[in-house]
Copies of this chain bind each other. A is one copy, B any other.
Amino acid sequence: MTTAAAADPDKRAPGRPRSARSEQAIVDAVLGMIADGDAIEKITIESIAARAGVGKATIYRRWPNRDELIIDSVASVKLPVPEVAGESLRADLITLVSQIGRPNEQARNGQVMNCLLPQIARNPELHTWYQKVIEPRRDVTRGVLRRGVERGELKQDLDVEVALLMLSAPMILQRTMHWNPAVDMSHLAEQVVDNFLGGALAAG
């Protein structure tokens, strides 16, 4: 997202190199303000520059505008790709699903996804990029589902991609936006997985 790396890795660019300290200070300032729960429109370039102790030009040298900076900052918070125990299909899915949309300790609250969602919706580049970020996580769930199909636990004709969507979308909307206020979120992951696996139809 930042300036592309040099084509020739041997030849470094002329002139004074960019300061890693400044870069970090900027990203930290952004994450700090998000974590402080500041309204997203209050996170201005000027306030970021002031908080980071950095000139505005130093920001604009790296990011073309505020949105890219915020997105990049959030993206820099590396979320570890989750691992699964492999005990059972249900347990693995609950483990994975319960992590979707969960606020993590660095990007300390749900504001982060609130920032990202609209940008992703509008910015095709960002959308593509975001897909790349979550694809590894999606891949883990995909693997679990595929193994379920191979083992005969899941239906042979299961559309894995639709399944992924059905597992993640409820978690995302509910966690970031409290989409349906009548839903109790304490056991949502289990409920989603169980409904997904068992279906709604009455047995027999």
A195 adjacent to B162 (CB under 8 Å):
yes
Q: How many copies does the complex hold?
A: 4
- Cβ contacts under 8 Å, A197 to chain B: 199-201
Instruction: Indicate if A40 sits at the interface (CB-CB under 8 A).
Output: yes
Per the bound structure, the CA–CA distance linking A40 and B123 in Å amounts to 12
- Cβ contacts under 8 Å, A122 to chain B: 39-40, 114
- Cβ contacts under 8 Å, A60 to chain B: none
* A15 to chain B: closest residue by CB: B55
- Cβ contacts under 8 Å, A154 to chain B: 200-202
Q: Which of A163-197 contact B (CB under 8 A)?
A: 163-166, 168-170, 172-174, 176-184, 188, 191-192, 195-197
B192 adjacent to A179 (CB under 8 Å):
no
The distance from the CB of A32 to the nearest CB of chain B, in whole angstroms, is 18
Contact of A183 among B145, B161, B173, B182 (CB under 8 A): B161
Number of A residues, CB within 8 Å of B: 54
* A138 to chain B: closest residue by CB: B180
- Cβ contacts under 8 Å, A181 to chain B: 131
Contact of A120 among B145, B169, B174, B177 (CB under 8 A): B177
Instruction: Indicate if A80 sits at the interface (CB-CB under 8 A).
Output: no
If A153-B202, A199-B198 touch, whether A176 touches B121 (CB-CB below 8 Å) is yes
Question: Can you list 18 A-B contacts (CB < 8 A)?
Answer: A118-B118, A145-B200, A148-B200, A153-B202, A155-B202, A158-B195, A158-B200, A161-B180, A162-B170, A162-B188, A166-B195, A169-B169, A169-B174, A169-B179, A195-B196, A197-B200, A198-B201, A199-B199
Apart from A39-B122, A195-B196, 19 more pairs, CB < 8 Å? A117-B117, A117-B118, A117-B121, A118-B118, A156-B202, A159-B195, A161-B184, A162-B191, A162-B195, A165-B179, A165-B183, A169-B169, A169-B172, A195-B199, A196-B196, A197-B200, A198-B199, A198-B201, A199-B199
